[in-house]
Amino acid sequence: MSDNGSNPFLDVANLVAGYGKKQVIDGVSLSVGAGEIVALIGHNGAGKSTLLKAVFGLIPIWSGEVHFNGSLWSTPAPRALLRAGVAYVPQGNRVFTDLTVRENLEIGGVTLPNKQAMKDGIERVFTLFPMLKNRLKQRAGTLSGGEKQMLSLANALVLSPKMLLLDEPSLGLAPTLVSEALKRIKQINQDSGVTVLIVEQKVREVLKIADRIVLLRTGRVSFDGPAGDLSDDRKLKAVFL
């Protein structure tokens, strides 16, 4: 775990954002240290997914600042952030169901500079997800929920990102697969040093892999501290209530 205060890869200051005229994020400040896993938790409607979308440029930032790796991004743009090493994995195991596994991976690497970089990126994800190598010609829509989750994550990892923004990677997975999926994210973090900001509803499971927890309540940060501080059920309930 890195010292997020002295070496933040992501630094968000007083962020305000929403949809149309509806404000959802109300002055959020948080940081994620290089190589750190930070879990963003909170009740439904707290603004967790909205925050990720604003940080990645999928919705406009109304006010506040976003810094990646020390650089200010006043108007984050997804394609530019991908080139800068920041990848976003939306909730719901989003894959192109009518395309093959190979075609999905190639779309994931669309911002890579050449075919060799694409080939290297795809080979790299096979070491993490060897199952995908045997499914290259298979349509993504025929994969199981767990396999789609793997492919969705692999699509982001083709780029060898420095940071992953993950929006509920456990969504739609069978309970037996949730722990396995989160352990895989931890393994990727340990093996490659990738920084992770993860939105997750399975709080007890994500506590096992996170270095730090940030709790959002109605668009504001109400807790920011080490994951170990919430390992006791009573402490966890006290923070949520």
- Tens of pLDDT along the chain (241 residues)? 344 445 799 999 999 999 999 999 999 999 999 999 999 999 989 999 999 999 999 999 999 999 999 999 988 899 899 989 999 998 876 888 899 999 999 888 888 878 888 888 898 888 888 888 888 999 999 998 878 888 988 888 888 899 999 999 888 777 878 888 888 899 889 988 999 999 998 998 999 999 999 999 999 999 999 998 887 777 787 777 6
Q: Is position 209 within any domain?
A: yes
pLDDT at 6: 54
Which residues make Cβ contacts (< 8 Å) with residue 172, sequence separation at least 6?
A: 92, 93, 145, 149
Q: Is position 231 within any domain?
A: yes
Q: Is position 29 within any domain?
A: yes
Q: Give, in degrees to the nearest 5, the angle at Cα 9 between 220 and 92.
A: 60
Q: What is the pLDDT of residues 86-135, one digit of tens each?
A: 999 988 768 888 999 999 998 888 888 788 888 888 988 888 888 888 88
Which pTM was predicted? 0.88
Q: Is position 3 within any domain?
A: no
Full domain range(s) for residue 236: 8-240
Q: Is position 2 within any domain?
A: no
Q: Is position 233 within any domain?
A: yes
Q: Is position 128 within any domain?
A: yes
pLDDT at 1: 39
Question: Token pair of 110, please?
Answer: 């669309």
Task: Say how many domains are in the chain.
Answer: 1
| 132: CATH | 3.40.50.300
Q: Is position 235 within any domain?
A: yes
pLDDT at 93: 67
pLDDT at 105: 92
Question: Token pair of 174, please?
Answer: 């069978």
pLDDT at 184: 86
